[in-house]
Amino acid sequence: MGFNKAAREAFVQGVAPVQLEARISKGERAYKHQFSNPFNSGFRIKAYAGQQLSRNDTISIGAVVLANETLVRRLVVLGFDTLEVHSDVGSHGCRWQLHDYIMIGQGG
């Protein structure tokens, strides 16, 4: 199941408090790795909350994604190097280097 479809279903069922939607972005140049897409390597999640999310809320959304090592590994092999989380209102967000969350060589 795709991320956007699963996110919509989680919202409809009341599991997620806001609707999330993923898109591709340019990513952060400093986060590039050997599998990075040369043009668009960011995985951007937009939270449709109708208001600017607090920094803690944005970090919480990112933490849920980053806690799923299988998802993070899949994103890395698909060419993504950056996770970005933003709300639908305002211009602030958070970003993480995906490579830091895949536990290479640690049996994970």
Q: With respect to residue 40, please indicate whether it lies within any of the assigned structural domains.
A: yes
Half-sphere exposure of 89 (CA within 13 A, CB side): 8
Q: With respect to residue 9, please indicate whether it lies within any of the assigned structural domains.
A: no
Q: With respect to residue 82, please indicate whether it lies within any of the assigned structural domains.
A: yes
pLDDT at site 2: 87
Range of the domain at 67: 24-101
Percent of the chain with pLDDT over 70: 94
Strand partners, 2: none
Distance CA 80, CA 71 (A): 11
pLDDT at site 93: 94
Q: With respect to residue 32, please indicate whether it lies within any of the assigned structural domains.
A: yes
Q: With respect to residue 4, please indicate whether it lies within any of the assigned structural domains.
A: no
Write the CA distances from 84 to 5, 12, 13, 105, integer angstroms.
19, 23, 25, 25
pTM: 0.88
Provide the domain count of the chain: 1
**With a cut of 50, which residues of the chain have pLDDT below it?**
108
Is the separation of the CB atoms in 78 and 42 below 8 Å? Answer: no
Half-sphere exposure of 55 (CA within 13 A, CB side): 0
Q: With respect to residue 14, please indicate whether it lies within any of the assigned structural domains.
A: no
Q: With respect to residue 6, please indicate whether it lies within any of the assigned structural domains.
A: no
Q: What is the pLDDT of residues 19-33, one digit of tens each?
A: 999 999 999 999 999
Q: With respect to residue 60, please indicate whether it lies within any of the assigned structural domains.
A: yes
